Amino acid sequence: MKRAAVIACWITVIIAGIFLRFDHLSTRPFHADEATGARITATRMGSGAYCFDPLHFHGPLLSSLAIPICKMNGETRWQEMTKSTLRLLTAIAGSLLLLAPLFWRRRFGDGPMLVTTALFATSPLLVYYSRMFIHEPLLVLFGMLALVSMVRSPRYGIPGLMIGLMFATKESFAISMLAWSGAGMVLAWENRKKWDRSFYLSVWKTYRMHIAISLLTFVSCAIFFYTDGLHNPHGVIDSIRTFFDYQTGAGHNKPYAYYLQLLAFPMKSGGVWWFGTPVVMLALLAFVFSFRRNAESSSIIRFLAYAAAGHFLIYSAIAYKTPWLACLPWAHVCLLAGFGVAGFSRHRLPMKTAICLLVGLCLTSQFSQTHRATGRYASDARNPFAYVPTRNEIESLGPWLEKLQQAAPGISLEPVAVIGSETWPLNWYLRSFHEIGYWPSPPDDLKSRALVFAMPDAGGAVTSLLADTHISLPRGLRAGVPMQMFVRNDVWKLWMENGK
C-alpha cells in the first residue's frame, strides 16, 4: 500500500505539472521573442538551409526541433504557423523536466525527489516560460539532465550529449559550465583532507573513458547543429564568435539584485503577492542540514547550493537581465529545496512539523501564483514574469482586418506598410499579407498605401504625412509601446458604410 501511495503521488504531481503547461496554451498573445523564433523556423523550412547568426540570435536547436512538429501539423509556411504548434515543443520540454528527478529516486529516495518534482511542476517561473516558444525550457531540460547524468553515473557520453544540446540551444550554457566548475572546486577544497590524490586517481581511472566519450559527444553534437548537419561548416566558427560578438538589445539593463528581488523577496503587483521565498527557505534549510554529522547526500547538496549561487552571481553581474534567464538557476534552487526533506524521519516532531508546513506553503503559494501568471495576468505587465508582454488587443487585429477587407471588396489592402523599428510581434500578426514592407522611415509612395502601421519612433513623421489622406487609429503593441494604424480615407468610408 505504501508503494502504491508513492506511485499515486508521483503520477498526480506529474499530471498536475503537465496540465499547468498545456492548459489554454495558445490563449496568450505571441511575445516578440516567440515571433522572432517562429520567423527563423519558417525561413529554415522555406529555404531548406540554415546559417547561424552569431550577432543577434541564439542556438539552432529550438528551430531544429520545431520544424518536424510544424511539418507533422501541416504548417510548412510562415502564413500557416500557429501558436499552439510552436508552443507544443516547449510545453513538452517543460513536462519532460518533471521526469528528471526520477533518475535520482533510487539514490536519494522518493521524498526529496518527489518534492523537487512538485516544485518543478508548480513553479510560476518554470511553468510560465514552458508555455512560450523560447529557448529557456530546452536549456533547463538539458541542463537538469546533464546535472543528473553527471552525478548519477557519468557513462556512455550522456553528460557530454546533454551539454552539447545545451550549447546548441543557447550560448549561455557557458555560464552553467562556469558555475558547475566553480561549485566542484569549492566542494573539492572543502573535502581536501579526505579527497586525497589517490581518490582523484581512482575517479580518473574509473571514468576517463567516459569523460573522453562525453567530450567527443559534446563536440559532435554542437558541430552537427551549428553547421546544419555539416552543410554549413562556417557555423563552427560562428558558434565561437557568438561569445565575443553577440549584441544585446537596449533597454534590458537591470540592477545587480534584480533576480533576488524577482524570486526571493515578496512583491505585490496587480493586487497579487509574487514570491518564491518559501522555496528559498527550504533550499537554505537543505544546505544547513548538509553540515550535520552523518548528513545524507551532503556533498551533492552543497554542490547544488554552490552551483545555484554561482549561476545567480554570474547572471547578476551581467547588466542585461530578463526573467527567463533565471529559469535554469531557479531549477537548481528547486532541486536543492527538494533535499530539505532528506532525512525527515530523523528529525524531532517540531522540525518535522516546520518542514511539512514549509513544503505546503511552497506548493500552495506556487500553484496560486502560477494560476494567475498563466491565466488572468498571462500578458499583463503587472505579472513580473510577463516581461514586455504583448497587448491582448493585438489578437483582434487579424479578424478586424479581414472584416475591413470584406467591407471594401473592390480595394486591396496590400501592399501594407510598416514604418519604424522594434516591430515584433506585429510581423506575426500581419503574416497573412503577402505584400508587406518594413521601412525605418516613410517611403515616397506612403500616401498611396491603404493600410499603414507606425511605430512610436516614426509616429510623428507618418502622422504629418498622412494627415489628409488617412484616418489614424491608435493601437497597442507591447506593454508601454503604442502604435498607430492608418486606414486610407476611401477604405475607411466603405468600412463606415458596410463594415459595422
DSSP string, 300-311: HHHHHHHHHHHH
pLDDT band, very low/low/confident/very high, at 293 (cuts 50, 70, 90): low
Question: Does a structural domain hold residue 378?
Answer: no
Phi and psi of 69, rounded to 5°? -65, -45
Asked if residue 193 has pLDDT above 90, the reply is no
DSSP 8-class letter at 498:
I
70 and 207 within one domain: yes
Kindly state whether residues 174 and 279 are assigned to the same domain: yes
Per DSSP bridges, beta strands 436-439 and 272-274 are unpaired
Q: In what order do the strands lie in the sheet with 451-454?
A: 436-439, 416-419, 451-454, 481-488, 470-478
Residue 380 lies in a domain: no
Separation of alpha carbons 243 and 500, rounded Å: 54
Whether 386 is covered by a domain: the verdict is no
Only one residue has cell 478586424, namely 400
pLDDT digit string (tens) for 199-257?
778 777 877 888 889 899 999 999 999 998 888 888 889 889 888 878 777 778 899 99
Q: What is the per-residue pLDDT for 248? A: 78
DSSP letter for 320, please.
B
CB 460 within 8 A of CB 419: no
- Domain membership flag for residue 138: yes
What's the rounded mean pLDDT across residues 386-412? 92
Domain boundary pick from 373, 403, 433 = 373
DSSP bridge partners of 437: 417
Torsion of CA 16, 22, 23, 24, to 10 degrees: 170
Q: Is residue 382 part of a domain?
A: no
Tell me how far the alpha carbon of residue 229 is from its chain's centroid: 25
Above pLDDT 70, what percent of the chain? 98
Residues 6+ apart with CB under 8 A from 283: 305, 308, 333, 334, 336, 337, 340
Same domain, yes or no: 76 and 148: yes
Say how many C-beta atoms besides its own lie within 10 A of residue 248's C-beta.
12
Q: How many beta carbons lie within 10 A of that of residue 232, not counting itself?
A: 16
Residue 117 lies in a domain: yes
Is residue 404 helix, strand or coil? Answer: helix
Domain range for 430 is 392-499
How many structural domains compose the chain? 2
How far apart, in whole angstroms, are the C-alpha atoms of residue 406 and residue 425? Answer: 25
pLDDT at 270 over 90: no
Average pLDDT over the chain reads: 91
Is residue 329 included in any domain, yes or no? yes
Q: Mark whether 146 and 184 lie in a shared domain.
A: yes
Last residue in a domain, options 373, 405, 430: 373
How many angstroms separate the most distant Cα atoms in the chain? Answer: 88
Residue that finishes a domain, picked among 339, 373, 407? 373
| Domain match, 171 and 139 both | yes
Same domain, 345 and 426: no
Instruction: Round to whole Å and give the CA distance between 426 and 419.
Output: 11
Give yes or no: residues 311 and 425 share one domain: no
- How far apart CA 164 and CA 223 sit, in angstroms, is 9
Sequence-distant contacts of 324-327: CB under 8 A, at least 24 apart: 324/129, 324/132, 324/134, 324/136, 324/387, 325/136, 325/172, 326/125, 326/259, 326/262, 326/263, 327/125, 327/126, 327/129, 327/136, 327/137, 327/139, 327/140
Name the amino acid, one letter, at 262. Answer: L
Q: Dihedral (C-alpha) 64, 146, 127, 343: value to the nearest 10 degrees?
A: 170
Q: Could you tell me the pTM of the whole model?
A: 0.94
Q: Which three cell numbers stand for residue 14?
A: 506529474
Cβ distance 370 to 144 under 8 Å? no
Measured between alpha carbons, how far is 394 from 379 in angstroms, rounded to an integer?
11
CA distance 324 to 125: 8
| Strand ranges in 246-388 using DSSP code E only, listed in sequence order | 267-269, 272-274
pLDDT at site 298: 86
Type and span of the H or E element at 477: strand 470-478
**What average pLDDT does the segment 169-179 reach?**
95
Instruction: Examine the domain organization and report whether 431 and 362 are in the same domain.
Output: no
Contact indicator for 434, 442 with CB cutoff of 8 Å? no
Task: Say what percent of the chain tops pLDDT 90.
Answer: 73
- The answer on 411 and 343 residing in a single domain is no
Query: Cα separation of 400 and 297, whole Å?
Result: 60
Question: Which cell numbers in the block locate residue 254?
Answer: 537591470
* pLDDT classification of 295: cutoffs 50, 70, 90: low
- Which amino acid does the sequence have at 438? Y
pLDDT of 133 above 90: yes
What is the per-residue pLDDT for 397?
93
Please say whether the beta carbons of 366 and 16 come within 8 A: no
281 & 160 share domain: yes
Q: Tell me, yes or no, whether 88 and 161 share the same domain.
A: yes
Q: Does some domain include residue 481?
A: yes
Instruction: Give residue 173's pLDDT.
Output: 94
CA dihedral 23, 27, 28, 29 (to 10 degrees): 150
**Residue 437, C-alpha cell as written in the block:** 514592407
318-367 pLDDT, tens digit each: 999 999 999 999 999 999 999 999 888 888 899 999 999 999 999 999 99
Q: Are 150 and 223 part of one and the same domain?
A: yes
Mean pLDDT of 448-477: 93
> pLDDT category, 480, cuts 50, 70, 90?
confident
Residue reference for cell 537554505: 284
